[in-house]
Amino acid sequence: MGPLGQPLRGGRRSARKRGQAMVEFALVIPIFLLVLSGILDFGFALFSRMTVISAAREGARAAIMVPDDPTYGYQQISSTAQARAVAAAAQGVLTITTSNVQVSCLETTVSTTSPPACNWNLYTTANTTGAQPGDSVSVTVTYTYHTFFPLLFGTTFNLSSTVQMVIE
């Protein structure tokens, strides 16, 4: 009650303010959630990209660690690199298969004007010594990222990384 016994009007006014706050919250929350989901999806995509880069690097490193054995050819190098890249991606919780890992090589004797060639296969007569120091191995890992919130970035996009290293 007021000083002259009249009822206060503040109770009614505070109810209006609460209603106004609810309307503002209802207008702002969808935008806030959209921004938040975009940040989360971008973070997961960035993590997946870094894992793909790491898997390609691990596969290339495994490929250049060639044992000193003349019978160790391209098939052994390729399967070793693929297995290591798949294992590295699995540690990063990405599911890739060996079909997502391409291993290619080029020899130091190949001229730069011709396309990369690989004569490491022992069944060819051009190279009976297998991989040699100075030869180069290139490992490409591809991964299809599926977004959590397709309204922002689309449903999928491809992540790929290529790493080239020289056999020591």
Q: Domain spans of the chain? A: 10-166
Which residue is listed with tokens 């090589």? 105
pTM for the whole thing?
0.70
CA dist 16 and 14 (Å) reads 5
pLDDT tens-digit map of 44-87: 989 999 999 998 888 888 888 866 666 666 777 778 888 888 88
**First and final C-alpha spacing in the chain:** 92
| pLDDT at residue number 138 | 85
Quickly count: other Cβ atoms within 10 Å of residue 94's Cβ. Answer: 20
| pLDDT at residue number 53 | 92
* C-beta of residue 56 within 8 angstroms of C-beta of residue 161: yes
| pLDDT at residue number 27 | 93
| pLDDT at residue number 110 | 41
| pLDDT at residue number 30 | 92
The token duo for 84 is: 């290591």
Mean pLDDT of successive 10-residue stretches along the chain, which has 168 residues: 58 64 90 90 90 89 74 74 85 78 62 45 46 77 85 80 84
CA dist 132 and 73 (Å) reads 10
The token duo for 5 is: 């016994």
CA dist 117 and 112 (Å) reads 11
CA dist 75 and 57 (Å) reads 19
| pLDDT at residue number 124 | 40
